[in-house]
């Protein structure tokens, strides 16, 4: 995936001339970027006061909708368990990959009618994104916690009980000392990096630990579950010393009927989750597309509003989408500065990447031309 610069410059005699001049400066001779015209329809301008207020609102809406897009994308990756190829092939906009959608952008007249005011269009997008955000929270909660238990009300304990029940069902009854007045078998979670320490120290964590009684029952990527047998009177001392050594003792009572019920419950929950998987992935695909499309329309709205505020009326500007060559980003910025410095000479002297005391420019990038970045790297891992 990649990064785009969405810019605009005022039309000269014609908008085509503006386009030709930018193309000549950035791609025909020096391969600084791959460029496409970005088509924005004739939107309703409204009053200057409305445009100024809308400029701030759209900046906030841009940030919010981008966060929704990223949340849906990341949850898709979580559900598909970070299978990168599968994730990427499901992150589409209008049935095409994101780069294709952006570079061939066409305003969706059905979703966002241009006869409506700019304010109304922004409100349509805001409601849509909020709905997707709320639905995502509800669906993620239902999928991750099939019983509807919140993380604050013992879900962790419930999961751990299921975990230990299933582990012990897999092991023999002989692994546990049962019905003894004096002895008890404890379960201890040991980080994988501490296996050697556990083997060296477990017999000395309390005075009455049965020698050579530990056994690895189960392990995952991070830790292992060990059993250990000791005298009941030493349990408190053993727990205390184990905690000091970063070993976690789990309270567990061996009860075959309870374990059988727990195992049946786990099977049921697993089946429920599998039933939800297909519909959930379909929902994520559809709503990622909707959120991404909404986000790019916000970018279009921002370019339109900012271009009118900067370049004035009548509306006469060319919106252009640049895909910078990574090696030449600095050079591209310099070329664009030379091309457009006459638009606002005071603005272009200061580069947003420079750290100048007293000027808080770290949160915004301001150039003599209208500029917004579109970053399509939406996932925590790089695809």
Q: Is the pLDDT of residue 150 over 80?
A: no
Number of Cβ atoms within 10 Å of the Cβ of 146: 17
Bond prior to 314 in cis (omega within 30° of 0): yes
Q: Which residue has the tokens 């030379």?
A: 338
* Partners of 231 in beta bridges: 183
Secondary structure of 194-228 as H, E, C letters: HHHHHHHHHHHCCCCECCCCCEEEEECCCEEEEEE
Q: Is the pLDDT of residue 338 over 60?
A: yes
pLDDT-based confidence at residue 27 (cuts at 50, 70, 90): confident
User: What is the average pLDDT score of the chain?
Assistant: 85
Please tell us whether the domain made up of 3-145+272-352+360-375 is placed in CATH 3.10.129.10. no
Q: How far apart are CA 292 and CA 81, in angstroms?
A: 22
pLDDT-based confidence at residue 271 (cuts at 50, 70, 90): low
Residue-wise pLDDT for 168-192, tens only, equals 545 566 778 877 899 999 999 999 9
Question: What is the rounded end-to-end Cα distance, in angstroms, of the chain?
Answer: 7
Higher pLDDT, 150 or 240: 240
Higher pLDDT, 7 or 377: 7
Q: Which two tokens stand for residue 382?
A: 């790089």
Q: Which residue has the tokens 């909660």?
A: 141
Global confidence as pTM: 0.70
Q: Is the pLDDT of residue 24 over 80?
A: yes
> Is 154 within 8 Å of 284 (Cβ atoms)?
no
Q: Is the pLDDT of residue 260 over 90?
A: no
Residue-wise pLDDT for 230-251, tens only, equals 999 999 999 999 999 999 998 7
Q: Is the pLDDT of residue 47 over 80?
A: yes
Q: How many percent of the chain have pLDDT more than 70? A: 80
Q: What residues contact residue 127 under an 8 Å CB cut-off, 6+ apart?
A: none
Please tell us whether the domain made up of 177-253 is placed in CATH 1.10.510.10. no
Residue-wise pLDDT for 71-115, tens only, equals 999 999 999 985 667 888 999 999 999 999 999 999 999 999 999
Angle at 66 between CA 313 and CA 315, to 5 degrees: 10
Can you give the pLDDT at residue 363?
A: 46
The DSSP-derived string for 263-298 is HHHHHHHHHHHHHHHHHHHHHHHHHHHHHHHHHHHH
- Total count of residues recorded for the chain: 383
Can you give the pLDDT at residue 156?
A: 42
Alpha helices in 341-380 (DSSP H): 345-348
3-state secondary structure of 210: coil
Domain layout of the chain by residue ranges? 3-145+272-352+360-375, 177-253
Residue 51's Cβ-side half-sphere holds a number of Cα atoms within 13 Å equal to 19
Can you give the pLDDT at residue 149?
A: 44
Can you give the pLDDT at residue 153?
A: 37
């Amino acid at each position: 995936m990649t990064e785009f610069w969405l810019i605009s410059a005022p039309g000269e005699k014609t908008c085509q001339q503006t386009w030709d001049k930018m193309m000549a400066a950035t791609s025909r001779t020096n391969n600084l970027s791959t460029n496409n015209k970005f088509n924005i329809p004739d939107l309703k301008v409204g009053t200057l006061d409305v445009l100024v207020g809308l400029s701030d609102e759209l900046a906030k809406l841009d940030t919010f909708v981008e966060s929704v897009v990223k949340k849906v994308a990341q949850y898709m990756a979580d559900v598909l368990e970070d299978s990168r190829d599968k994730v990427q092939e499901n992150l589409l906009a209008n049935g095409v990959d994101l780069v294709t959608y952006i570079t061939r952008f066409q305003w969706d007249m059905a979703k966002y009618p241009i006869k409506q005011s700019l304010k109304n269009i922004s409100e349509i997008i805001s409601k849509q994104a909020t709905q997707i955000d709320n639905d995502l929270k509800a669906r993620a909660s239902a999928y991750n916690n099939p019983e509807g238990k919140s993380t604050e009300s013992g879900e962790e304990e419930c999961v751990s009980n299921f975990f230990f029940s299933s582990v012990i069902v897999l092991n023999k009854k002989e692994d546990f000392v049962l019905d003894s007045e004096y002895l008890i078998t404890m379960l201890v979670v040991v980080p994988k990096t501490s296996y050697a320490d556990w083997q060296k120290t477990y017999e000395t964590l309390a005075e009455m630990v049965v020698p050579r009684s530990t056994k690895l029952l189960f392990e995952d990527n991070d830790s292992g579950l060990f059993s250990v047998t000791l005298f009941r009177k030493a349990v408190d001392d053993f727990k205390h010393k184990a905690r000091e050594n970063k070993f976690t003792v789990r309270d567990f009572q061996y009860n075959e009927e309870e374990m059988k019920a727990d195992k049946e419950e786990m099977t049921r929950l697993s089946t429920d989750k599998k039933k939800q998987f297909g519909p959930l992935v379909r929902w994520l695909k559809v709503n990622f597309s909707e959120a991404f499309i909404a986000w790019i329309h916000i970018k279009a709205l921002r370019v339109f509003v900012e271009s009118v505020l900067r370049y004035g009326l009548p509306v006469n500007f060319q919106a252009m989408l640049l895909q910078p060559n990574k090696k030449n980003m600095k050079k591209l910025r310099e070329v664009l500065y030379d091309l457009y410095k006459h638009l606002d000479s005071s603005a272009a002297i200061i580069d947003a990447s420079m750290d100048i005391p007293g000027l808080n420019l770290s949160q915004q990038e301001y150039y003599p031309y209208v500029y917004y970045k579109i970053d399509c790297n939406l996932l925590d891992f790089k695809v």
